[in-house]
Each structure stands twice: as C-alpha cells, then as structure tokens.
Amino acid sequence: MIRAKLFVLVFTFAIVNSVFSQDEFKFKDPNKRAVTLNFKSLNNLIILSATLNGKLINFLVDTGVNKTKVFGNVKDSTFLETTEFIQLRSLGSAEPVKAYKSTENTIDFGPIYGNNQEVYYITDPRFDLSSKLGLNVQGIIGYELFKNFIIRLNYTRKNLRFYQHEKFNRKLNTFDEIDFRLIRKKPNINLSAKLLDGTQKDLVFLVDTGSSDAFWIFEGKNITAPKESFVDFVGYGLEQVVKGKRSKAKTISVGQYDLKKPRVAYIDSTSAELFTADLYKNGIMGSEVLKRFVWFFNYKERKLYFKPNGQFNSNFNYDRSGLILTYAGEEIKTVKKKIFATFDEKPNYGFGSDDSKTFEIRYEKYQILQVAYIRPDSPASKVDIRKGDRILRFDGKPVERMNLKEINDLLSGDEGEKVIIQLKRGKLILKRKIYLSSRLN
C-alpha cells in the first residue's frame, strides 16, 4: 500500500500446526561470527531479497508472522517443492483462501540460507502486496528467520546483522534489556502506558516490524478510545478496510524511555478480531516506534536489547491530507530521450537539424497511483477528489519520479502547508489544492 497514511497489512491465517520438521537457517560459512544483510526501507518496513529454489523473491521481514508466506499465481508455482493444495481460513474473510503448502524448499539470503523450509504459497488474488506497497514484494518471513540467531536491527544503517549464538561476545552494557514472551511464535512485551484520561495501564504489545504505524490498542472492558479521537482508516483486512479511532497517549514507556504523545489507533472489539486470534495481547507496537531504537533480538533467551538512536525525538509521522492511496497496475509510456554522443572528445547531446538522429524513443513502465479512500472530514474530503481518481503530480512533480517516502513526507507535512495535486478522472485532467491539517492537534 502506498500510504498517505500509515497502514498495517493484515495477514492473519488459521493454520493448523504442522508436524513437519524443517531445517534451521544457518551461515554458509560456519566459521563466521556474524554477517550483515542490507535491506530496503519502505515506510520503515524491512524488505530483504532472497531466492526461493533459485527464484528471486522480495520478502517483507515481519516479526508478526509465524509462517513463511509467498504470494503469486498458480501458474507460477512450479518452482515450489512437494506441494499440496489447501484452503486456509483468514480472519475477516467469508471465503476460504486458496493456497499450497510446500515443503523441502531452499531460501537463500546470500550468507544465510535455510534448507527444507515450509512455505505457504497463497494464490488468492486478494493478496496483492505489490499494489499496496508500491514495490514488487512477493513474500513475508518472520519467526523462521529470527529464531536461531541474535539479530541486530538498525533502521538508521538499514541493515540486519546476524550473530551466531556461540560466537556472540558483544557487550550490551549500554542497552536496556526487556524480556518478551513468544505467543504463537511472535514476540510480545509489557509496556506501561499513560492514557489521555490519566489512567496508567500495563499493556501487552506485539512487537511487529510488519506494521508501519506507531501503536494500536484494542478496545475492551477496561480500555476505550478517548473523547479526543476521530474515526480513521488504519489498515486493510483481506476484504475490508479496518477502521479505528485516531488519538494519542500521554506517554508510553519502552523500558526507561518515555515516548511523549505517541500516535495511537484504538481498534474496536469487532475489528480487533482480525488481530487477536491469540487473545493475549492488548495491541501492536510498530516500526514508527521501532525505528527510534537500535535493537538486538534474542529469541532463544526471549530477550530484547535496545537503545535510542538519532530518530528517538523525531515527530510521529501522520498523514495530514486524508488521502489513502494505492497502486493500481502499470502502464507503458513512450519517452523521448536525447542521445549522448562525443565529438572530438567533447560531450555533445546531438543538437542538430536531423531530429531522428539526436533522439531515441524508449519504452518505460510506470505504476498507476490511485485514490483508494478519503478520510471523512479531512482536507481531501473538502475538495473535489474522488475514490478512483488517478494521481499524476504532486506540486508539479510527476509521481513516477517520487518514491514512497517522498510522497508520505509531503502529505505528512506541517499544519497549513499547501499541496497542489494534478489528477486524472476519466479523460479529464484536474488540479486540486489541499491545505494539510490534523485533527490530532
């Protein structure tokens, strides 16, 4: 999903625990103490490239999943090993999800690999990560990658460093330490939260690198959204948009560090059923919080180590436009490019009378950016922008020349900033102005 907002992708499956015993991920060079994998950062989400049985796959690294999943078409599933067709129940979906359970697969991240891996290959077209993320992401991996190593997660350097347990000798005296529980193979921690009504609560949060939001809190008997909140779209389920109430907390403490006025989405009990199959947690802590620290994950000893980085005091990112955007396919455009040439060792861009010799026509592929939803009572709702409109330019810059971070930063700008949007509706090219505003202020 591209976002003008911070979204959480909801992929919760009812999967019967398998008796299949898969191999552990390991170092190709067993003598190495540690190896580093650089990742792409997409709205603070972690994307790692690997091969699955020789086929290139971009994986979303998500501590909130316990099974490795890959998404694609049935016709493209021939690279999988030892498959059987199954149907999964996905919370929030009335229809079963079509999938293949596959074993004996090899996943190779370069210096780290895993043989005999179990993979769930989801062929349901409703699971389209690429259109929602704006990047060709075909899979999700979590517990199986984390469980056998000590892993340092550094958002600033954009890398994951994997250490072998028996060779780990780094002193972590400057890091805070917190215990976590593995619930359904997912890390959960206890945090102290002071809410807007002044109450202090100890809450259990899932540590979720697959969420780009800050905090979600599930409403229940003792927790309700404060009056200072408003209804918002906070994520996508399989067949529906997940709604919540946007607000803040006074503070939420991660160890000794107090996060002041963090963004919180309160999820009502009905929507919370999408996320609370384990019934133990009170909410989710996502990468808008995680990015503020350097982390060490030790699944074997159930410990997290962390200390603040340079982003600790940065503002909590939040969309102030009300636009919820998604990628809706691709198109091919013809582009006229000047031909670079050299004459007498001097650069020449082919300025001359024969235009056919100085330019060439190239074909380039662009993603189509579209309005998926508009938040009620937002700046975008007050001008004539409609669901299905195609976005062409922001402040005069073509969207194909902007990455996800640039778009998010633009639409999460300061209160009162003007954003000029060029859009296409049918055959009409329209221009709209919105003035950024947040109801959280």
Per-residue pLDDT tens listing for the chain (441 residues): 333 333 344 455 555 555 556 789 999 999 999 999 999 988 889 999 999 999 999 999 999 999 999 988 766 777 787 888 887 766 556 677 788 899 999 999 999 999 999 999 988 777 766 666 667 888 999 999 999 999 999 999 999 999 999 999 999 999 999 999 999 899 999 999 999 999 999 999 999 999 889 999 998 878 899 999 988 888 766 556 678 899 999 999 999 999 999 999 998 877 766 666 566 789 999 999 999 999 999 999 999 999 999 999 988 877 899 998 888 777 776 666 666 555 455 555 444 445 555 667 766 767 889 998 898 889 999 999 999 999 999 999 999 888 777 888 899 888 899 999 999 999 999 999 999 998 776
Query: Domain check: are 331 and 358 in the same one?
Result: yes
- Whether 119 is in a domain gets the answer yes
Query: Domain check: are 282 and 388 in the same one?
Result: no
- Alpha-carbon torsion angle 66, 72, 78, 82, nearest 10: 20
Query: Domain check: are 190 and 286 in the same one?
Result: yes
| Domain boundary residue, one of 267, 283, 308 | 308
Is 304 in contact with 296 (CB distance < 8 Å)? yes
Query: Domain check: are 138 and 52 in the same one?
Result: yes
- Whether 313 is in a domain gets the answer no
Query: Domain check: are 264 and 155 in the same one?
Result: no
Query: Domain check: are 153 and 57 in the same one?
Result: yes
- Whether 271 is in a domain gets the answer yes
> Which of 91, 93, 98, 47 has the alpha carbon at shortest distance from 72?
98
Burial class from Cβ neighbours inside 10 Å (0-12, 13-18, 19+) for residue 166 reads exposed
Write the single-letter amino acid at 392. L
The predicted structure's pLDDT at residue 217: 94
Count the neighbouring beta carbons within 10 Å of the beta carbon of residue 62.
Answer: 23
Query: Domain check: are 245 and 296 in the same one?
Result: yes
**In which domain, by residue range, is 37 found?**
8-167
Query: Domain check: are 186 and 145 in the same one?
Result: no
How many angstroms separate the CA atoms of 295 and 44, rounded? 14
- Whether 345 is in a domain gets the answer yes
CA atoms within 13 A on the CB side of 192: 9
How many angstroms separate the CA atoms of 183 and 66, rounded? 10
How many angstroms separate the CA atoms of 325 and 390, rounded? 9
Query: Domain check: are 30 and 159 in the same one?
Result: yes
Site of tokens 């950062």: 41
Site of tokens 């690198």: 209
State the total domains in the chain.
3
Query: Domain check: are 409 and 330 in the same one?
Result: yes
Residue 266 sits at the vertex; the CA angle it makes with 261 and 268, to the nearest 5 degrees, is: 170
The predicted structure's pLDDT at residue 340: 56
Is 185 in contact with 216 (CB distance < 8 Å)? no
- Whether 399 is in a domain gets the answer yes
Is 91 in contact with 12 (CB distance < 8 Å)? yes
Site of tokens 């709702």: 381
Q: What is the CATH number of the domain that holds 148?
A: 2.40.70.10
- Whether 335 is in a domain gets the answer yes
Q: What is the CATH number of the domain that holds 366?
A: 2.30.42.10
- Whether 316 is in a domain gets the answer no
CA atoms within 13 A on the CB side of 240: 14
- Whether 1 is in a domain gets the answer no
How many angstroms separate the CA atoms of 179 and 190, rounded? 9
| Domain boundary residue, one of 167, 190, 207 | 167
| Domain boundary residue, one of 130, 150, 167 | 167
The predicted structure's pLDDT at residue 89: 65
Query: Domain check: are 127 and 23 in the same one?
Result: yes
Give the per-residue SS3 of the chain: CCCCCCCEECCCEECCCCCCCCCCCEECCCCCCEEEEECEEECCEEEEEEEECCEEEEEEECCCCCCCEEECCHHHHHHCCCEEEEEEEECCCCCCEEEEEEEEEEEECCCEEEEEEEEEEECCCCCCHHHHHCCCCCEEECHHHHCCCEEEEECCCCEEEEECHHHCCCCCCCCEEEECEEECCEEEEEEEEECCCCCEEEEEEEECCCECCCEEEECCCCCCCCCCCEEEEEEECCCCEEEEEEEECCEEEECCEEEECCEEEEECHHHHCCCCCCCCCCEEECHHHHCCEEEEEECCCCEEEEEECCCCCCCCCCCCCCEEEEEEEEEEEEEEEECCEEECCEEECCCCCCHHHHEEEEEEEEEEEEEEEECCCCHHHHCCCCCCCEEEEECCEEHHHCCHHHHHHHHCCCCCCEEEEEEEECCEEEEEEEECCCCCC
Query: Domain check: are 294 and 367 in the same one?
Result: no
